[in-house]
C-alpha cells in the first residue's frame, strides 16, 4: 500500500548506472532446460498447475483502490492489477482483500473503525453484486468449497490495527465481520506497537495494550501479521503468540540491506520455528536494492513536498506531484525471477514449509516486476519455479498449503482457549 513515512535528506542519483544485485540460487534448486520443447512443456505445465492448485495471495489492495474510484471488477479493468478476468486467467483463487486504514486516521477518534467497516461493506457488496464470480471466505474450508464451484474467494485481512481503537471488543467485531488477519500497524507507531517505518520507537516493540491484543487475537482465531512492524515488535509477537504468525506481504531484507520493512533472516527463522509463513511481496522495491534505493528517493521527495505544502498524504496535489516525479524518475524494475530468488532464499534458510505469496497488487502497481505486472501473470512465477527444479508438491505448498496450515493452527489454538 502507499506508505506515509518519515522525512529524510533528499538527493538525486543517476539511476541509469545502478546495477541490480544478484543472489545465489540454492544448488539443489538448479536445473537445466535443454530444448525449446522442454521449455514450452514447462510453460504449459505451469499454466495447468496454476489452475489445478488453489492460489492464495496474502495481500491485494483492491478495496482501497475501489474506495478511491469504483470500478466494475467483474470484467477486465483498464487500471489496477486485479479483476475477475485476470484473476481467472492467472489462477488466483483466494486474494486476501486488504482492509487498509492509513495511519493518519488513527489521530481522529472513530475514523479508523468507520473506514474499516466501509471497506468490509465494499467487499461484501462485491460478493452480493457478482455472486457467480466472487464469494466471501472465513476459513480454508470456505476457500476449498468456493474453488470447487469456480468462484474466487475474497477472504479479508486488516492492514493496520488502528480500527481496534484500544477496545478489545472491536477485535471480536472485526472477526465476526470476516477479518482473519490483522497487520498490527502501518506507517506510524500506534497504540499496539512500533512500526518499521517510524524511528520514534514509542514502545520498544509491543505496547502494554498491544500484548493484550496479541492474546485476544490468539483467543479469537485471528492471524497475527508481522508485515510493517519493527524488528523488536516482530520478535516479541513471535515469542508471545501461542499460534504461528504470518508476514502477509514482506520480502527478504538480505536483498535490500537497510530496508527495515523487509524481514531479516534471523526473524524469518524464528517465525519458521514456530510454524509461521512469510508471503513474498512482488514489488521491485521489496525485491532488489537498486529499485529500493530509487524508491527511497521518490518517497522522500514526496514527503518533502507534502510537508512543504502542509498537505495530507492523500491530497490531490500530493498525488499529482507523485505522478510527475514517477514520470521524470521512473523506478528501475526487476523481473519475475527475482521473486523466485526470494522464495529460494526462504527455502534455504527456513525450509519449504514457510514461504507463500503476498503480491501487494493494487498497492504497488508501478513497481511490479517484468513478468508479474498483474494477477494474470502468476503462471510465469510457477514456470520459473518449475525451471529451477521445484516439485509440484513444493509449489502447492507455496501456493496455498503453507498458509492453510498456519490458518488451521490458529483456529485450533483459538478452540483450546
pLDDT per residue rounded down to tens, the chain (417 residues): 444 434 333 333 333 333 333 333 344 444 333 445 699 999 999 999 999 999 999 999 999 999 988 999 999 999 999 999 999 999 999 999 999 999 989 888 889 999 999 999 999 999 999 999 999 999 999 999 999 999 999 999 999 999 999 999 999 999 999 999 999 999 999 999 999 988 899 999 999 999 999 999 999 999 999 999 999 999 999 999 999 999 999 999 999 999 999 999 999 999 999 999 999 999 999 999 999 999 889 989 998 999 999 988 778 999 899 989 988 998 899 999 999 999 999 999 999 999 999 999 999 988 999 999 999 999 999 999 999 999 999 999 999 999 999 999 999 999 866
Rounded to whole angstroms, the Cα distance separating 111 from 104 reads: 10
> Can you name the residues that pair with 206 across neighbouring β-strands?
193
pLDDT at 36: 56
* HSE of 147, CA atoms in CB hemisphere, 13 A: 20
Task: Please tell us whether the domain made up of 15-416 is placed in CATH 1.10.3720.10.
Answer: no
Grid coordinates given for 220? 479469537
CA angle 287, 43, 97 (to 5 degrees): 50
183 within 8 A of 225, measured Cβ to Cβ: yes
Helix (H, G, I), strand (E, B) or coil at 309: helix
pLDDT at 351: 98
Rounded to whole angstroms, the Cα distance separating 91 from 128 reads: 22
350 DSSP assignment: T
| Helix (H) or strand (E) run with residue 41 in it | helix 36-52
* HSE of 26, CA atoms in CB hemisphere, 13 A: 17
The sign one gets for the Cα dihedral 338, 339, 340, 346 is positive
Burial class from Cβ neighbours inside 10 Å (0-12, 13-18, 19+) for residue 196 reads buried
Q: Any idea where the domains of the chain sit in the sequence?
A: 15-416
**pTM, to two decimals:** 0.89
Burial class from Cβ neighbours inside 10 Å (0-12, 13-18, 19+) for residue 142 reads middle
Strands 152-154 and 179-183: unpaired
Rounded to whole angstroms, the Cα distance separating 340 from 318 reads: 34
pLDDT at 104: 87
Rounded to whole angstroms, the Cα distance separating 154 from 127 reads: 8
Longest dimension (CA), the chain: 62
pLDDT at 417: 60
Amino acid at each position: 500500500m502507499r506508505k506515509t513515512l518519515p522525512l529524510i535528506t533528499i538527493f538525486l542519483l543517476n539511476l541509469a548506472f545502478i546495477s541490480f544485485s544478484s543472489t545465489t540460487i540454492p544448488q539443489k534448486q538448479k536445473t537445466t532446460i535443454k530444448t525449446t520443447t522442454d521449455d514450452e512443456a514447462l510453460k504449459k505445465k505451469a499454466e495447468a498447475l496454476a489452475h489445478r492448485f488453489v492460489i492464495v495471495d496474502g495481500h491485494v489492495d483492491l478495496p482501497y483502490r475501489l474506495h478511491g474510484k469504483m470500478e466494475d471488477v467483474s470484467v477486465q479493468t483498464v487500471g489496477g492489477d486485479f479483476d475477475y478476468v485476470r484473476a481467472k486467467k492467472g489462477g488466483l483463487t483466494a486474494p486476501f482483500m486488504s482492509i487498509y486504514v492509513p495511519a493518519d486516521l488513527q489521530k481522529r477518534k472513530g475514523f479508523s473503525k468507520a473506514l474499516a467497516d466501509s471497506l468490509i461493506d465494499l467487499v461484501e457488496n462485491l460478493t452480493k453484486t457478482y455472486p457467480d464470480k466472487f464469494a466471501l471466505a472465513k476459513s480454508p474450508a470456505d476457500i476449498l468449497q468456493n474453488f470447487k464451484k469456480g468462484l474466487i474467494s475474497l477472504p479479508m485481512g486488516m492492514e493496520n490495527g488502528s480500527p481496534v481503537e484500544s477496545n478489545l471488543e472491536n477485535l471480536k467485531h472485526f472477526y465476526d465481520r470476516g477479518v482473519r488477519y490483522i497487520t498490527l500497524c502501518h506507517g506510524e507507531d500506534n497504540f499496539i506497537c512500533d512500526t518499521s517505518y517510524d524511528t520514534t520507537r514509542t514502545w520498544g516493540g509491543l505496547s502494554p495494550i498491544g500484548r493484550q491484543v496479541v492474546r485476544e487475537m490468539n483467543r479469537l482465531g485471528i492471524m497475527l501479521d508481522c508485515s510493517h512492524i519493527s524488528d523488536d515488535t516482530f520478535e516479541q509477537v513471535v515469542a508471545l503468540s501461542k499460534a504461528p504468525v504470518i508476514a502477509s506481504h514482506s520480502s527478504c531484507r538480505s536483498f535490500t540491506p537497510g530496508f527495515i520493512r523487509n524481514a531479516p533472516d534471523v526473524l524469518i527463522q524464528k517465525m519458521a520455528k514456530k510454524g509461521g509463513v512469510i508471503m513474498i511481496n512482488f514489488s521491485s522495491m521489496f525485491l532488489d536494492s537498486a529499485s529500493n534505493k530509487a524508491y527511497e528517493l521518490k518517497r522522500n521527495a514526496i514527503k518533502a513536498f507534502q510537508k512543504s505544502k502542509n498537505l495530507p498524504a492523500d491530497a490531490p496535489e500530493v498525488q499529482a506531484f507523485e505522478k510527475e516525479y514517477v514520470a521524470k524518475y521512473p523506478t528501475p524494475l526487476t523481473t519475475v525471477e527475482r521473486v523466485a530468488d526470494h522464495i529460494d532464499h526462504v527455502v534455504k534458510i527456513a525450509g519449504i514449509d514457510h514461504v507463500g505469496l503476498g503480491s501487494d497488487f493494487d498497492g504497488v502497481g508501478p513497481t511490479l516486476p517484468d513478468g508479474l505486472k498483474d494477477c494474470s501473470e502468476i503462471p510465469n512465477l510457477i514456470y520459473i519455479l518449475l525451471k529451477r527444479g521445484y516439485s509440484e508438491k513444493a509449489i502447492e505448498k507455496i501456493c496455498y498449503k503453507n498458509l492453510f496450515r498456519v490458518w488451521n493452527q490458529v483456529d485450533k489454538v483459538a478452540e483450546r482457549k
